[in-house]
Structure formats: C-alpha cells, structure tokens
Chain A
Amino acid sequence: MGPGLFDTGNNRKICVDVMRNYNIPKHKLIELYILMSKIRMTELKIEELYPNEEMKTPVHLCVGQEAIAAAISANLNKDDYCISNHRGHGHYIAKGGDLKAMIAELYCKETGCSKGRGGSMHLVDLRVGLLGSSSIVGGGIPIAVGVALAVNMRHEKRVSVVFFGDAATEEGIFYESVNFAVLKKLPVVFICENNFYSVLSHQKARQAFDNIYNRLEGCGIPGYRVDGCDAVDAYNTAKSCIQNARNGKGPSLIEARAYRWRGHAGPGSDYHLGARPKKDLDDWIRKCPLKKLKNFMLKNKIVTDRKLDLIETPLKKEVEDAFRFAQKSPLPNKEEISKYLYC
C-alpha cells in the first residue's frame, strides 16, 4: 500500500519524507525515541526467538507502527488508563508495562502479567493503568469509554485511551461507543491505527470511503488524521486531544496511518502470499518511523551517535534480561486451571 494507492485529499499529507520542524521539547523527542526503540527491539527479539516454539501463543507484531503507541503514551500520565487490542505489545511497552511480565506472558509462564492465562493478546499492568486488552476486533472500545465514565463520575482528571485497528471501525460497537462518549462528554481518546489491512483484506475491500478520521463527524466527535510514521506529528495531535479530554472538552478520534511490516500474526512478512505487494512494504520501510525520528534528532543536533548508543545499550540489555527471566520462569500449575475464574 503506497500512499498514492488509496489517496484521499484529506487534511494532512501522509508519510512526508522529511520531518517538519515541529515544536516539541527535546526531552519528549528522546522519550519518543526510547519508547519506539524499546518496542522495536522487543518485537525483533520476539521474531528472532519465536521459531524456537517456546512462545506458544500467537504474536501480532507492531513493527512499523511503533510511533503511534509512543506518541500517545508520551502524553499520558502513569495513572491514565489504556485499553489495548490483539496487537498490543507496543501499547503495553509505551505505557510503561513491566517488560519482564510481558515476555513471561508470551512464554505462557506463571510470572507473566496474566500468569499464563491470557497470552500475547491479553496484557495487563494495573500499576500503569493498563486495564487489559481485547482480541475481539472493536471489543475494547466501549470498555475504554466505560473507564472514562468512571473517571467522570468520580470527578477525576484522568484520561482513558483505546487503541484499535481500521477494521474495528467497521464494527457497530465503534459507532455505539463514540455516540455515548460524545453524549456524556467523556475523557476518552479513540486511537485508530490504520494499517490498511485486516489480516490480508485491504481497507478498500471493506470500506466505501477512506475517511475513518471524520466518518463519525455527524456524531459530534472531532477527528484527526496523522502520519503514523511521524512520531512528532502523532505526538502533537495526541497532545491536544488528550489535553482536551483532561480538561472536560470531551472525546476525540485520531486516525494514525502506518503499515504493518509483518504478517497479521507471527514473525516474518506476508507478501509472499500475494495479497500485499512487496513494493508497498518496501515503500513503507523507507518511511520507517524510527529511522525518521532518529535522522530528525541527529540533523537537528538533539542527539549525537554517542548519545543514541547510550540510549540503546541499556534498552538492549533490558530486553535480553526480560527474555532470560521469562525462559527461566515456571509454568502455571495444572491444578490451578480454575484459579481466577472468579475474583
């Protein structure tokens, strides 16, 4: 999927090759880079070790989409809430979820964040407001709205965000949830990560118009389209949406466009299947969100190569430690199969 194939004449040019000089504090740029690098490294490590068949759970890698989770989370407080989906590793990491517990969950171990009951698609970390994730497309959307309702009822200043894919906007529950969120003016931000594919079905085969960001304007929700490969673009839009939610101005919707470099599930690309052209993948890889941010920071002398090394080296170690921890952890006890069915 190249940018020209499904063009829209919308309010924002997608996938600009040169990042504009946005107004963003330096420390936020570095934060974005750290979060995105950590996600990328983790996903690549999962991919590297997945063939060993020790992670016996489907993994949905978000390589190529890292900027979106990072941009949102860089605007959230620790006690803000997040609901994720099946492709949720990035959301979990960006929000500050415990990496060891996540990798242990992928290894289906008792030390996993969901103690081996959830697997890759069901990550949770209450310490940082991650209340869980749904692998039913669109299923998490109302849950985030309900969280926002609770926030409002308690007169708190928290924000609830939910990540979902382009196909989730085809579910009736998307409309139902947005309608209610607007009706009650709830502090929720809907984040649609449009990677153009539901498994191997292109958006064009599923939606008459390429207008996710403003499709529900009639419901009264402001919608914004951002370049999901441009961390700063996504960051700035997320910032205003999250601020509005926090300040009682109600919900908003962000459509962030990026490409899923890997197949729907598991390691490796899927262009060999013939549904997604190799050329599209190559185009999007050229627009790599991580490389773009890195080049921007180097060019603007925000970081040096040495500084990047200082960022990346401990991250690598953290990721490796998490895998070692997971590998060495015990499996759940068979006698405890019914544990946690009820609280």
Chain B
Amino acid sequence: MPWTKILLERQGNPLEVEVAGSGSRKIKYAEAIREAFDQALDTDKRVFIMGQGVDDPQGMFGATLNLHKKYGRERVFDTPLSENALTGIALGAALAGMRPIYAHNRPDFLLLAMDQIVNHASKWSYMFAGHTKVPLVIWCVIGRGWGSAAQHSQALQGLFMHVPGLKLVMPSTPYDAKGLMITAIADENPVIIIEHRWNFMQEGYVPSRLYSIPFGKGIVRKTGNDVTIVGASYIILEAIKAAKKLEEEGISAEVIDLRTLKPLDEDVILNSVKKTGRLVIVDTGWKTGGVTAEISALVAEKGFGYLKAPIKRLASPDVPTPASYALEEAFYKNERDIVDLVNQFF
C-alpha cells in the first residue's frame, strides 16, 4: 500500500532504524499483534489471553491465531459472552497477580462491560491507594464497512478518554501495534487498546525481537510547516495520503500520530501548532464530546496564541453508523475530506 512506503520514508527514527537494521521484516498487521502476544506469553507466565473466539480458527482476525496450540487452553481460552463479568474476572485475576488480556472483536461489546471498566478497573488503584495493581489489557477492533451498521462499528475512544485511571491506546501501524501492545501488557494499570479493522490491511516492517513503545509519546509521521493534522489510529493513514496530495498542491502539512490518547502527548501537538499556526484534528469517533473536542480544548487553552486561524475538526457526524454503503460514504471521513478541510485555511 502506498502509505506504508510513506510511513517508512517519513516516520523518523524507530522504524527507519529497524528497517535498516537486522531482524526486521515485512509482516501483516495481525501478525505483528500476534507476535506481541506470543512473545509476551513466552516471556511472562502471568500473561494469559481470554475472549470469545480467541482459540477459534479465525483467531481474532489472526491476532491470536493458534496461540492456544502453543500455550494451551489454560492460558489462551474462549469465554462466555458475559462481557461485564468477564471484565471483572480479568480484573480479579490481575489483582491476584496475573496479567490478563481480554480480547473483543468489537468495541461495541465493551459497552456491556462499562460497569467493570469504569466503576471498577479504572478506579481500583486509586480507591485503594495503590495497594493493588491492575495490569489488565482490554483489546478490541473497530469494525467498518459492509453494512456493519450502528452496533458493530462504533469508535468509542471518546468515552474511554473521559475516564480517569484508564490508559487508551490507538495504534496505526504494524510496528506500533506490536510495540504498544508490549507496553500495555507490561503496564501495571488497565489499558484499553482500540484497533481499527482497516489497519489490518497493512503490512509493515516489524522487528522480530521484543520491543516496546512508550505511552504518551506521539510521533511526527510527516513534517510540514503550513498546517498540523493530528489524530490516531486508521485516520492517520488517511491523513498521510492527504498530506501527500497537499504537498502536490504546495501545502506543507505536518502529520502527528498520537499513538496513545491517554496519556496524551500535549507537547507534540503544541510544538507543531506553534510552528504551523493551523490545526486540523481528525478522529474516527463522533464529534460531540469526543477526541477532537478534547484536543481542540487543549490547544485553545494552551496554544491559542499560536493559532493563525480557528481550529478545524474532522470526525464522524453525530449519528449512529448507517448500514447502506451510500450513507456510509457520507459517514466516514477520508483523505479527500482532510484535503478539503485543509484547503479552507488557504
């Protein structure tokens, strides 16, 4: 895919080093995650993976494929669909010293577990003054397209970003998917990783060794001087394509991939806006009270003086995802929308 090459060319240090160095090879997105799981299971006996279908022949889009054969069904096991209880069960196992990973096909199902995520997991450390640790990873994949509709395609990062005590990760490349997963598993706090199904179409260079990417450190995917485009996950791939188009039009766009929304790398955003004076915030979630709103408020509070023009936001319209592909086209934002929005500045 074209943007994979762009990523490799523009991304700067970690990936370029890995490409140049030994031990890096091109693998699929799902394989990168699977490798993170595999190495974590191999490295740490406390790690286990549970979730509906993790040991089936589809293996969570390939991310958990056949891991049960290597590690046994005691450590990689199917679960009842009781999402709320199973989240509490994962939390309990974490409190007792294990490092559970609870995998879901879709974030929509996390809504059934909000009690255990928000009332319990996110608060356990604070409520008990850090006596107890919650090294819990909740992993899910946003669906998109083919009429997935309102209950199988929700991008709920805005909800989770709101909750203190959680960490929220949204990778966009195979390299990041593996490195951020390792960091999540190693973390002592509840981490929600929201993948995007369309990220899975990528291949990318990923080191075969175990490595981690720090939370709260965004990355400049492409440098530019005229406008900053900031976001996370799949929309970054659209932003990179848009930036390339804009380059042809003579507009130099900087693309920032936040990697984690919580903790949020404020500096990488503010430094870029300081340079460009213009900001477009992009997200796959809803607009109202969501990720774009939060980042917009951040820049209004801390970087207002840098702005040469009002902030622009590109997010999903505030409606449930429609099924019809005609309406999906209106719902989902892409490269063209980003280009159009940036052009409004000039």
Contact = CB atoms under 8 A, between A and B. Distances in A.
Interface of A: 81, 83, 112-118, 122, 124, 126, 131-132, 134, 136, 139, 141-151, 153-154, 160, 172-173, 176-177, 179-180, 183, 339-343
Nearest to A121: B127
B334 to A, nearest CB: 35
Contacts of A124: 128-129, 131-132
Contact of B131 (A126, A173, A176, A339): A126
Which 3 interchain pairs have the tightest Cβ spacing? A146-B92, A142-B88, A176-B85
Interface stretch (B13-21, B116-124, B234-242): B116-124
25 contacts: A83-B92, A113-B128, A117-B128, A124-B131, A132-B132, A139-B116, A142-B84, A142-B85, A142-B89, A142-B92, A144-B92, A146-B92, A146-B95, A150-B92, A150-B95, A153-B93, A173-B115, A176-B80, A176-B86, A177-B88, A180-B79, A180-B85, A340-B125, A340-B126, A342-B167
Contacts of B48: 153
B188 interface: yes
A147 B93 CA distance: 5
B74 to A, nearest CB: 6
Contacts of A176: 80, 82, 84-86
Given A143-B95, A149-B92, A115 B84 contact: no
Contact of B98 (A117, A132, A142, A153): A153
B338 to A, nearest CB: 34
A177 B131 contact: no
A161 B129 CA distance: 22
Q: Chain A CB within 10 Å — which of B79, B80, B98 has the most?
A: B98
Contacts of B87: 142
B291 interface: no
Given A132-B124, A142-B116, A180 B86 contact: yes
Interface string B125-140: 1111111111000000
Contact of A179 (B82, B88, B127, B129): B82
Contacts of A173: 82, 84-85, 88, 115-116
Interface residues of B, number: 42
Given A144-B92, A145-B88, A136 B128 contact: no
A114 B127 contact: yes
Contacts, number: 151
B310 interface: no
B93 A146 contact: yes
A12 B130 CA distance: 43
A147 B92 CA distance: 5
Contacts of A134: 119-120
A183 B80 contact: yes
Given A147-B96, A150-B96, A343-B189, A179 B80 contact: yes
Contacts of A132: 95, 124, 127-128, 132
Contacts of B127: 114, 117-118, 122, 132
A341 B93 contact: no
A157 B193 CA distance: 34
Contact of A146 (B82, B91, B164): B91
A136 B115 contact: yes
B115 A146 contact: no
A307 to B, nearest CB: 37
Given A142-B116, A340-B130, A172 B84 contact: yes
B33 interface: no
A104 to B, nearest CB: 12
A113 B100 CA distance: 26
B12 to A, nearest CB: 28
Nearest to B119: A136
B51 to A, nearest CB: 13
A146 B75 CA distance: 14
Nearest to B189: A342
Nearest to A337: B126
B165 interface: yes
A134 B95 CA distance: 14
Given A113-B131, A132-B128, 19 more contacts: A83-B92, A113-B128, A114-B129, A124-B132, A139-B116, A142-B89, A143-B92, A146-B92, A146-B93, A147-B95, A153-B75, A173-B82, A173-B88, A180-B86, A180-B89, A340-B125, A341-B126, A342-B189, A343-B188
